[in-house]
Amino acid sequence: MNDMRYLTFALGKGRLADKTLELFEQIGITCEEMKDKKTRKLIFVNEALRFRFFLAKGPDVPTYVEYGAADIGIVGKDTILEEGRNIYEVLDLGFGKCRMCICGPTDAKELLQHHELIRVATKYPHIAKDYFYNKKHQTVEIIKLNGSIELAPIVGLSEVICDIVETGSTLKENGLKVLEEVCPLSARMVVNQVSMKMENERITKLISDLKKVI
């Protein structure tokens, strides 16, 4: 009987999880039952490797990892920054590349240069606050939204937004522009701090295998 402990992975649901599984396949880690799109199962096991995988909402991934319910998480850098959990970020997986930006109509650019008290709509209040308060030293009012952030400056809820830009087409189709860049983003692997010590050999091997195919 294999009594090796399971190494548990929390994957951010959706495209991130699909890309992660593709990458894992390249290093010989497969999970057939997870590929079944119709399944309502939440947890999947690779018995031979003693790996367990589950899908979670992106913002919950760092939570599972911090508490040790998952040893390893795959999640966007945006979520890592926003959640601010005590976890180790160990690897940039190189996919899901995009940028966190301050965006708005062209004429809002001026408002960013004179420390005006403006309103910033965002799904990422911590990232926005850190950027305006600690980097720009500009006092702003942050308005938390849950999606379709580009609407805010169009309907007059805010002057600018702090949001993810990938291709830039959402901005373009709504007459908005990137005014400033906050930081680059991509998918990252995160590790629980205790797991990193207790399962160091398996985790280090996983990281070095992944580095070869990234």
Residues in contact with ligand PRP by the rule CB under 6 A: 123, 147-150, 163-170
Q: Answer yes or no: are the C-beta atoms of 27 and 154 closer than 8 Å.
A: no
Q: What is the DSSP string of 39-107?
A: ----EEEETTTTEEEEEE-GGGHHHHHHHTSSSEEEEEHHHHHHH--S-EEEEE-S-S-EEEEEEE-GG
What single-letter amino acid sits at 127?
I
Residue number, 166 or 181, with CB nearest to ligand PRP: 166
Residue number, 109 or 177, with CB nearest to ligand PRP: 177
Q: How far is the CB of 172 from ligand PRP (least distance, A)?
A: 8
Residue number, 10 or 149, with CB nearest to ligand PRP: 149
Q: How far is the CB of 162 from ligand PRP (least distance, A)?
A: 10
Which residue, among 165, 132, 161, has the nearest Cα to 144 in the 3D structure?
A: 161
Residue nearest to ligand PRP (CB): 147
Residue number, 30 or 174, with CB nearest to ligand PRP: 174
Q: How far is the CB of 168 from ligand PRP (least distance, A)?
A: 5
Q: With H, G, I as helix, E, B as strand and everything else as coil, classify residue 141.
A: strand
Q: How far is the CB of 112 from ligand PRP (least distance, A)?
A: 19
Q: How far is the CB of 7 from ligand PRP (least distance, A)?
A: 29
Residue number, 14 or 84, with CB nearest to ligand PRP: 14
- Looking at the DSSP bridge assignments, the partners of residue 187 are 76
Which tokens go with 64? 């599972």
